[in-house]
Chains A and B, each alone.
Chain A
Amino acid sequence: MSRKKTIFATIYHLCLFINILILETLLYCVAEHTLEISLQDPQITEEWIPSFSPFKIANGVKDLFSLTILSNEATLTEEGSFVTEFNVDGMLFQVYRLSNNGYRYKISNPKEPETWCSLFTNEDFSEGKAFLKGANWLKHYSLNNFLMLMYGFSSATKETLLFHSSVIEKDNKGYLFLGKSGTGKSTHSRLWLENIPDTSLLNDDNPVIRIIDGKAFVYGSPWSGKTPCYKNRKVEIGGIVRLKQYPANIIERQTGVKAYAALLPSISNMIWDKRVSHSISDTISSLASICQVFQLQCLPNAEAAELCFNTLSK
């Protein structure tokens, strides 16, 4: 080997060695999809994502995405072209399209708009790079949301949905409650737990739904809103119920387009991205035909839970 080649080989091996030292790569399996998180920022450790620990695996092959948390933002320079912005939980989300057809997501506190966390993705969300800065709570919030964005959009083409709902498990079936924020999804779940025997909470905010061989399943996930309920479990869906506050308890079956429209608002989407939004739309459409979908106009009382359970378990 020439001297030049030897030097290159040494440098190459040195780089590999350093990489191994500073890279902590973690593997997780959420709803039977494997994802990889690489932590290059020494400040961000596994303890930052405790809700993921029930989903950790030692070996596996990534089939969904890998997200790298960078230690600096030197490589994240592209501005991209502005797509849209929206507010969630009082935080500002801004979306830009990049030249690789991927996206740049910015999350900031509208009161301190000069500090933000960024996520850069490729077109199909299979690769993401994030840089977290600002107050620790902003970093935590952004990391969690970047993981949800990566999960939701990388799985969109795999008949998988991250579904905003509260889920009760009974007799190996999952019952999903949806509705606008503040409608009482968690309250309705609590009413099932209190009034219907042998029930347990599977997830309180963002379970994963998958269609496999014509059957619909719901899985616990690392995202459960304010209720810490991170169960690594899978059950077949027994029914999906859209809740609406009302001065009486009335339940009504929804089919066809009405069932589709009942499910649609509960899934994060990028309507401007046809590849993602058409996949999500097709999955919702199949879900609406496989599962029984109901609208429940209800009061927050035991009778509502009983009416719902009795109708769904018929």
Chain B
Amino acid sequence: MKEKKGFGLRDIAGQKVIVAESAENINFGKVIAMNNSSAYLWQALQGKEFDAQVMADLLTQKYEVEVEKALADSQKLIEAWKNAGIIE
């Protein structure tokens, strides 16, 4: 998986969000709210090829979390990002 180009992480009303920032995404029209850990992952994964394992490693490095839990959460997050149309 890879983050799609032309999306940016912004701070809106005290919350981290992903918004479209390029002409290719002109019809995106959505604002994706991120919590702190997903914003951290989004930043850490910029420009990189990743899967749930890569994500889970990033989570276990930063947070005190069981490997299995991190992996399960990563799989869920990948699905959510896929549905939101911000990764490919």
Contact = CB atoms under 8 A, between A and B. Distances in A.
Interface of A: 83-84, 86, 95, 256-257, 259-261, 264-265, 271-272, 274, 277-278, 281, 285, 288-289
21 contacts: A84-B23, A84-B26, A86-B26, A256-B13, A257-B12, A260-B12, A260-B13, A260-B31, A261-B31, A264-B31, A271-B19, A271-B22, A271-B25, A272-B21, A272-B26, A277-B21, A281-B12, A281-B19, A285-B12, A285-B13, A288-B13
B10 interface: yes
A180 B20 CA distance: 19
Main secondary structure of the interface of A (DSSP, over half): helix
A271 B26 contact: yes
Interface in B4-63: 10, 12-15, 17, 19-23, 25-26, 29-31, 33
B18 to A, nearest CB: 11
Interface of B: 10, 12-15, 17, 19-23, 25-26, 29-31, 33
A83 B14 contact: no
Contacts of B15: 256-257
Contacts, number: 45
A271 B20 contact: yes
Contact of A257 (B17, B21, B22): B17
Contacts of B29: 264-265
A173 to B, nearest CB: 23
A257 B26 CA distance: 20
Nearest to A284: B12
A-B pairs with lowest CB-CB distance, top 4: A84-B23, A261-B31, A272-B23, A256-B13
Contacts of B10: 278, 281
